[in-house]
């Protein structure tokens, strides 16, 4: 599974980790809704580590589309919240 | 909808916008390639701007550093002359300068991180553009409508995603640099208004200390006689320099 961390690059992550990733993703939605800054940073770091530590980097000269896109590691809670506010209003 | 699927939708919609413009796939290839080169140029310029901004901050930091030493010796000088009030003033300014210097150091460190990210983005894009160029020529040579369309599609969407990502990386780095520069500009203003330093030498602290210095060196004997009086005021001719 090809996973992109925005502003960082692409990683080849074994499919076995998808459940764990989904789990963190769901929790992220909750902390964003609650406005829990510390929880957000914590989960985001966990998500990045999961990808970075269990994958191989996709070679730079390979052109492939990602199956999953992770936000940039330095995204703030308010930026993430904005992303969710946009949902539904603009059917992109 | 979780965060990941949301991100995926955002990125894919960007890719689709590029793909939708395609009539002849070969034109799309050339168009994309031009876009990529343009972008690479922008990224390179971004790196240069970042380096310049960092140098400016470093210059400010070394100015502040020099100012520290100056304020320190001014404080000693003032105290030596029995002017505790001036010594206190100098030490107060030293504290302000130390605080500003810490802020500057932190900004420089942040900028180094951004510069690294941007340089990384540049290298990544460079490699991607090279890979795309190779693929583009292969696809064009083998062009037979239906099949090529699929291959162009996958190469292009992979690359478009990469371009979108690098654009984001560059934008973020630039926004951060702007913020850091604005902060540095605020410090510059403090310097200009004389809160931190006075490059013209017209600062009252400077003037008074020069006056003290003059009175003590030019006329030691007189200074000794005047030990019980507030020193310096009588030596205005030299003190004005």
Cα separation of B164 and B130, whole Å? 17
pLDDT at residue B123, as a whole number = 87
- The answer to whether B239 touches B207, Cβ cutoff 8 Å, is yes
Q: Is A37 on the interface with B (CB under 8 A)?
A: no
Read off the pTM.
Answer: 0.64
pLDDT at residue B1, as a whole number = 56
Give B195-206 pLDDT, tens digit per residue.
Answer: 554 444 456 676
Cα separation of A4 and A90, whole Å? 23
**Which residue from A minimizes the CA distance to B161?**
A65
**Which residue from B minimizes the CA distance to A68?**
B8
- The token pair at B219 is 């006329």
From first to last of its 92 residues, chain A has per-residue pLDDT tens of: 999 998 888 999 998 998 898 889 888 888 888 889 999 999 999 999 999 999 999 987 788 888 888 888 888 888 888 876 544 333 33
- The token pair at A60 is 């730079």
C-alpha closest to that of B164 among A79, A9, A35, A16: A9
pLDDT at residue B148, as a whole number = 64
Q: Is A19 on the interface with B (CB under 8 A)?
A: no
**Which residue from B minimizes the CA distance to A32?**
B3
Instruction: Supply the mean pLDDT for chain B.
Output: 73
User: For the packed helices B145-192 and B3-20, what is the interaxial angle rounded to 10 degrees?
Assistant: 110
The sign of the dihedral angle between the CA atoms of A15, A16, A17, A22 is: positive
Instruction: Name the residue with tokens 């000794």.
Output: B224
What's the residue count for chain B? 241
pLDDT at residue B73, as a whole number = 83
* Averages of pLDDT over each 10 residues, chain B, 241 residues: 67 61 69 83 85 88 90 81 80 82 87 86 85 81 67 73 79 78 67 51 65 51 44 46 41
Q: Looking at chain B from residue 146 to 165, which residues have their Cβ under 8 Å from any Cβ of chain A?
A: 154-155, 157-159, 161-162, 165
Q: Is A73 on the interface with B (CB under 8 A)?
A: no
């Amino acid at each position: 599974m090809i996973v992109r961390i925005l502003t960082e690059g692409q990683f080849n992550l074994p499919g076995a980790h998808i459940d764990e990733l989904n789990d963190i993703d769901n929790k992220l939605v909750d902390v964003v809704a609650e406005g829990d800054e510390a929880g957000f940073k914590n989960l985001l770091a966990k998500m990045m580590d999961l990808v970075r530590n269990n994958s191989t980097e996709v070679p730079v000269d390979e052109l492939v589309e990602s199956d999953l896109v992770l936000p940039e590691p330095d995204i703030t809670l308010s930026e993430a919240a904005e992303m969710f506010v946009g949902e539904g209003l603009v059917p992109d | 909808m979780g965060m990941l699927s949301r991100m995926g939708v955002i990125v894919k919609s960007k890719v689709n916008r590029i793909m939708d413009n395609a009539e002849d796939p070969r034109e799309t290839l050339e168009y994309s390639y031009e876009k990529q080169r343009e972008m690479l140029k922008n990224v390179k310029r971004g790196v240069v701007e970042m380096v310049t901004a960092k140098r400016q901050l470093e210059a400010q930091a070394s100015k502040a550093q020099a100012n520290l030493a100056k304020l320190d010796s001014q404080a000693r000088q003032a105290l030596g002359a029995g002017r505790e009030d001036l010594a206190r003033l100098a030490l107060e300014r030293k504290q302000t300068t130390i605080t500003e210097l810490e802020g500057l150091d932190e900004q420089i460190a942040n900028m180094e991180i951004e510069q690294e990210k941007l340089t990384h983005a540049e290298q990544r894009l460079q490699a991607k553009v090279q890979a795309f160029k190779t693929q583009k020529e292969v696809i064009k040579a083998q062009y037979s409508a239906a099949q090529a369309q699929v291959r162009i599609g996958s190469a292009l969407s992979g690359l478009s995603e990469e371009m979108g990502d690098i654009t984001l990386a560059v934008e973020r780095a630039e926004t951060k640099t702007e913020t850091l520069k604005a902060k540095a500009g605020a410090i510059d203003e403090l310097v200009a208004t004389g809160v931190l330093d006075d490059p013209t030498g017209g600062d009252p602290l400077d003037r008074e200390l020069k006056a003290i210095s003059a009175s003590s060196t030019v006329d030691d004997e007189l200074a000794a006689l005047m030990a019980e009086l507030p020193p310096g005021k009588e030596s205005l001719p030299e003190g004005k320099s």
